[in-house]
Structure 1
């Protein structure tokens, strides 16, 4: 090597050995066999490898390449990356292999726990599926395969394959590709250990919150809207509106919006610690238990029943008799305010029955929304008749002083909520879901008093579950076997404790 030569050293943080071996000169692979053996040994030990190679360049050749490289480096535009890659390919060839080094590549904190069996249980996967890639819903590829798939004529097929997969695992991708993936993702994790809590805790909570929120939103709008429809039928489609225009505007804007938001933000059927103890709760979302068609139809019927009770009960109670001592009878204005009051109370009390985790914010939103209705009705009625029109002093001087109004409101609310309350009571008693059982165990503190029961339920929650008739049959069989075993133990103890048995076993025949 003369004074006009330049030595170029190349370092490759490699995952596939072909990355460096493909760039060696014809006489540059003297240590290739030994390097391959070292790479295999390091990979088995989990080390991160760094390969070394060099190339001798003439100074003129280096300066020519450097000018191309600097021009590509200073280029502004979408072609910059392509020019830099081309410049790199020009110089990183005809290399002489020196060897490979390895350093310990420690896992991030909590990675092994995030790949534990409880994460596999919540996803319904086997460990072998993740290790060997035997699950058909997974797609695993590396940076070399990605480059080929994106630049060749199979790009469309590769895209279709990735879209059809439930999960895609990218290995050794470039920082730019990682950035693109993060920008197109719903969630991005700075550390792998956050995956466990994201799935088991927030995944379960998010599914429950969104499902309950959407179903309740359907319920409350059906309950409110059907009263208008019923009134039109009752008046032979006269065209009169049961509620004042301001009442209809306030319903979704202020009087029922905040409780729905609190349900979608703060609801927790179980605590985060319990979610981590019972990862199978996550599978409720995979099986779509809470947002099934039967649930949707059930909430539609619940809203229909609530609207029917509110309308028919108030029509029956307030007509044709007078509701005040002065002999006043109810007209469209009175019916509108009375039914509107019942609807506000019913839908807000309904969401109170749905919520399983109360905070002071939820109490404020629910009961504050009901109080806000009375404040608005009084303030709106205090305006001059030109503005308040038929709502003028409707609460303070008309229906507010009538005991019948308050009694009817209470009775209508109870009857309207009774079907849902009865349904949920029977469901928890006869066909409880996993979260119902865990809630009762935590509420009754059976995890403290009966630790064995708590551990047994925790183990059962991590098993593959069955749904429907088969599950009920298996449960009855297990219950029968447990009862039979207890009876056998009881009979054995009663027999062995008798004087006859003790004297018989102590005789010389048993010595």
Structure 2
């Protein structure tokens, strides 16, 4: 841990810390806040303050933490010259190394406290100490130095050396740290559950902490039957695992023999979860029990493994990956997760406070856990479907091409003569048909991204492998075989039934003419077939599908003028002949008709889930329900409400509005959600003006009022306006706030444990932004003069009697489209969290309605305008 030295002029008592682990930083910061700050660290010593008195400790040895030891120790020399060892780690590890004469009452009390912390979802650590004599330390130091310099088995020798000194400890206390969940983690995990993904959590926390965290992030639910496995021996672990399997079988029945369907029980009304600690997991991963444990874990909806080491995390992932031949994904944010991330099929790392080791070793890296849902449900699902469709279409287009040549062999005595012109064979997969299939595999989207996020159940088809099956593959092959028959025999029948004549009366019955007709029909059919299977058409898709066919036509035109023997003037002979075009069109229609009809009847009478969602997207109201505008409605609007910064209730200043709109102040009407049920009590504001002093900042009491834009005014808080200061004379009754340190230590300068008196600056409208309101005379007199530096201190809320006052109804011809509040009454005795003002006009001037605030806009006579609903916190009646 390193301490950043504070700036002596601006913040002389503000200490910040940088550490390898956020846990270390949190512990040192907590010690600072209670009056024991860590001030400085050098090569020779480290300095702390104990209730304002500086103390220096000399570090002698640091025994680093690792996943095997599950503890960390430091040996230091105290200011009194004694040698002391401090050890922190898991409670199970520390309690094993306590001295025999350790106070049992302290042990019991500390254990109860840690259990209470763990039940609250906090990460606990136990801290112990022991004193060492000079002789014991010197003797141990020689052993430890020899272990660190050993060449063979260095880690084992160091562990043995540390065990020689980490014993006979006495409990010093315990700590509890809150590892806050990131935004959106519970919703993301709930979405993954709906998608049919099995979730295993592998953590180093103790059992109680892991269970509470699992409940808080929706990994465990109240309707789950949670089975906790804790065993000391292999036989005990076997007994508990078999009992869990029997319990599940009695409710859900035996698992499916199909590995793709294991764990998918749509008719099951019960769900199970397993919680297992590190010692039991070590037995469960043994060769004789790992199969039983895998069967138990895969039949449960969630598995929570506690107190596991990085090696156990990797072994667990390997067990699932190889035992079920499943696609595994590991996600983590710490160095302990690197082995697990690298072992999985897909590794995801999070950039966090614990470093970037996990992100650097992963296949995908992002900032927050909630982004995993889009990676899987959108991009992962798209990728799987694209690859499945691309493979099927790629094999199909080669079947139709090669089998058309095969049908020619019986009529050619199976010799080596080509049906197609040789350049067509070279360019078929290179330029004529490959790009449409590639575009299908790169850009196709069966449903929109937001629709995929709204219906995570669509992901289950991918887990079960229903998008790329053997039956689907062979159906494509049969379809390609049928189309090869059509594109060959239709031209063959046309050529054999009657004489095919060209524009000059000559026959077009040469092999080059016939082969070109078959090849053109096959290429058109292959490209159109890919277009039928495409769901999402973009400009690139149109250009590629149409352009590939045009390239084929262009090549016929260009190559016809080459000095070749059999292809000379082919474009003139074929393209000017109606029989050629009729044959090609008839062949393509007959080839694609079955596929088109099957696709139509399947989507109409036997639609899949994606077909239903796609129809809702195209023809239904799914876009409106998801808040997506149709393309025809995506027109630029110059209104203020279209700006992203105005997506929430806000206050607009006159300068902001005038700078944005050329025609001046033209607010748009929004919908008012109405009043809250019961208004709170009135609260008093006291304005004080701040002046600078050699000893700090002092503020004088004043009785002026202003309007701030903070929407969460609760409790005793201080609000500071950004106006420049105006000097005032101090009086004996004025309030003094000192932000400069007094001479002395960090403890005395920071006034610990008192809270900091520093005010929080928030935005406030200038006092002259709006003229006085005609409906509330005298309100402007309560505002402070311009260019004043104000600090508003709010006292505790009061509760005067509630007395609503009726207001005049709106004119019928002046009613705005916005919904007015539910109750037509002014409440000047209190304020809700959000205040609303609505202004209306139907002729000369404007009629305004005020509710706990003030908003005014002058209008030219005759102008008709509509007001808007705004949200801000205004002054309250005292």
TM-score (norm 1): 0.75
SS of the counterpart of 2:346?
A: coil
Q: 1:273 to 1:64 in 2, by over 3 A?
A: farther
Cα deviation 1:279-338 (Å, max 9, x = unaligned): 211122234433334323322221111111101111122335224133122222222222
What pairs up with 1:53-72 in 2 under 5 angstroms? Answer: 53-66=128-141, 69=144
Can you give the 5+ residue segments of structure 1 that lack an aligned partner in the other structure? Answer: 452-511
Matched residue SS, 2:409:
helix
Checking the alignment, whether the CA contact within 8 Å between 1:49 and 1:103 is kept in structure 2 is yes
TM-superposition CA deviations, 1:8-42 (whole Å, max 9, x none): 11121x3xx32221222222464221121111111
Matched, 1:284 2:461: yes
- Shift of the 73–379 alpha-carbon distance from structure 1 to 2, 3 Å rule, reads farther
Give the superposition deviation at 1:436.
1.2
Shift of 1:367: 1.9
Partner of 1:460: none
In 2, are the aligned partners of 1:8 and 1:54 still within 8 Å (CA)?
A: yes
Secondary structure, in 3 states, of the residue corresponding to 1:123?
A: coil
Is 1:412 aligned to 2:587, yes or no? yes
What is the 5 A alignment of 1:117-128?
118-123=191-196, 127=221
Given that 2:396 and 2:476 are in contact with CA atoms closer than 8 Å, whether structure 1 keeps it comes out as: yes
| CA pair 366-33 structure 1, distance change in 2 beyond 3 A | same
Is the alpha carbon distance of 1:158 and 1:375 closer, same or farther for their aligned partners in structure 2, counting shifts above 3 Å?
A: same
1:105 alignment partner, one of 179, 183, 191: 179
Matches within 5 A, 1:156-235: 158=290, 166=298, 171=306, 172-174=308-310, 177-189=336-348, 190=350, 191-235=368-412
Distance 1:214 1:4, change over 3 A: same
Given that residues 381 and 395 in structure 1 are in contact (C-alpha distance below 8 angstroms), is that contact kept between their aligned partners in structure 2? Answer: yes
Q: d(CA) in 2 for partners of 1:10 and 1:396?
A: 89
Between Structure 1 and Structure 2, which shows a larger proportion of helix residues? 1
In 1, distance between residues paired with 2:290 and 2:168? 33
Residues 1:365 and 2:365 aligned together? no
How far apart are residue 444 of structure 1 and its match? 1.4
Q: For 1:430 and 1:416, how far apart are their aligned partners in 2?
A: 23
Secondary structure of 2:195's aligned partner: helix
Name the counterpart of 2:668: none
Choose the corresponding residue for 2:500, options 322, 330, 339: 322
Question: Highest relative contact order (Cα 8 Å, sep 6+), 1 or 2?
Answer: 1
Q: How much does 1:271 deviate?
A: 1.1
Partner of 1:435: 610
1:10 maps onto 2:187 in alignment = no
CA contact (8 A) 1:109 1:193 kept: yes
Q: Which has the higher strand share?
A: 2
User: C-alpha displacement at 1:70, in angstroms?
Assistant: 5.5
Question: Which position in structure 2 is the counterpart of 1:490?
Answer: none
Kept in 2: contact 1:4–1:58 (CA 8 A): no
What's the counterpart of residue 45 of structure 1? 120
User: Aligned residue for 2:438?
Assistant: 261
| Corresponding residue of 1:95 | 169
Cα distance in 2 between the residues matched to 1:68 and 1:375: 84
Query: Which of the residues 73, 78, 94 maps onto 1:20?
Result: 94
Aligned to 2:425: 248
**Residues in 2 aligned to 1:160 and 1:298: alpha-carbon distance in whole angstroms:** 39
Give 3-state SS (helix, strand or coil) of 1:401's partner: coil
Three-state SS of the structure 1 residue aligned to 2:340 is helix
Note closer, same or farther for the CA distance 1:145–1:450 as it changes in structure 2 (3 Å cut). closer
Distance in 1 of aligned mates of 2:531 and 2:587: 17
Report if aligned partners of 1:53, 1:99 keep a CA contact under 8 Å in 2.
Answer: yes
Number of residues of Structure 1 aligned to a counterpart in Structure 2: 439
What corresponds to 1:237 in structure 2?
414
Aligned 8 A contact 1:269 1:435 in 2: yes
1:338-391 CA-to-partner distances (Å, cap 9, x unmatched) read 222212111111111111112222223222222222334444455443xxx64x
Equivalent residue for 1:396? 571
SS class of match (1:291): coil
Corresponding residue number in structure 2 for 1:484: none
For residue 61 of structure 1, report the CA deviation from its aligned partner.
4.0
The alignment's TM-score, normalised by the length of structure 2, stands at 0.45
Change over 3 Å in CA distance of 1:348–1:130 after alignment to 2? farther
How far apart in 2 are the matches of 1:355 and 1:95?
70
CA contact (8 A) 1:203 1:282 kept: no
Moved more, 31-40 or 331-340: 331-340
Contact 2:275 2:304 in 1 (8 A): yes
1:142·1:173 contact (CA, 8 Å) conserved in 2? Answer: no
Matched with 2:522 is 343
| Alpha carbons 1:73, 1:80 under 8 Å: kept | yes
Q: CA deviation at 1:405?
A: 2.2
The answer (yes or no) to whether the contact 1:209–1:267 under 8 Å persists in 2 is: yes
Separation in structure 2 between the aligned mates of residue 163 and residue 210 of structure 1, nearest angstrom: 31
**Gaps in structure 2 of 5+ consecutive residues:** 1-76, 199-219, 229-243, 249-254, 256-262, 264-272, 311-333, 351-367, 627-878
Match of 2:684 in 1: none
| Contact 2:508/2:573, CA 8 A, preserved across alignment | no
Larger displacement relative to structure 2 (426-435 or 123-132): 123-132
| Local SS of the residue matching 1:188 | strand
Q: 1:140-159, aligned counterparts within 5 Å?
A: 144=279, 154=286, 158=290
Q: How many Å apart are 1:200 and its aligned residue?
A: 2.7
Structure 2 counterpart of 1:114: 188
Structure 1 residues 448 and 358, CA, compared in 2 at 3 Å: closer, same or farther?
closer
- Relative distance call for 1:254 and 1:24 in structure 2 (3 A) is farther
Measured at CA, do residues 96 and 204 of structure 1 come closer, stay the same or move farther in structure 2, by a change above 3 Å?
A: same
* Deviation readout 1:45-67 (Å, 9 max, x if unpaired): 11121221112223454355455
Partners in 1 of 2:279 and 2:525 — Cα distance? 61
Q: Distance in 1 between matches of 2:122 and 2:559?
A: 74
Counterparts of 1:83 and 1:402, CA distance in 2: 90
Matched, 1:32 2:32: no
Correspondence for 2:621 among 438, 446, 449: 446
Q: What's the RMSD between the two structures over aligned residues?
A: 3.5
Tell me the secondary structure at the aligned position of residue 100 of structure 1.
strand
Q: Deviations over 1:250-293 (max 9, x none)?
A: 22233322222222222211112111211211122234433334
